[in-house]
Amino acid sequence: MHLMCRGQGQPVVILDAPTGMSSDIWFHVQENIALLTKVCTYDRVGLGFSKRVLQNESTGTEKVWGMSTTGRMVDNLHRLIKLAGLATPLILVGSELGTLNARFYSHIHDGQVSDLVLIDPIPEDIFEEDQWQKYW
78-92 residue pLDDT tens: 999 999 999 999 999
3 state DSSP class of 95? strand
Percent with pLDDT over 70 in the chain:
77
- Domain spanning 3-135: which superfamily? Alpha/Beta hydrolase fold, catalytic domain (3.40.50.1820)
pLDDT interval class at 65 (50, 70, 90): low
Secondary-structure breakdown of the chain: helix, strand, coil percentages, each rounded to the nearest 5: 35, 20, 40
| Per-residue model confidence (pLDDT) at position 111 | 93
pLDDT at 134 over 80: no
Summary mean pLDDT of the chain:
85
Domain definitions of the chain by residue range: 3-135
Q: pLDDT (tens digit, 9 = 90+) per residue, 35-63?
A: 999 999 998 876 666 766 655 444 454 44
- Whether the Cβ atoms of residue 106 and residue 92 lie closer than 8 Å to each other: yes
Q: What is the pTM of this model?
A: 0.81
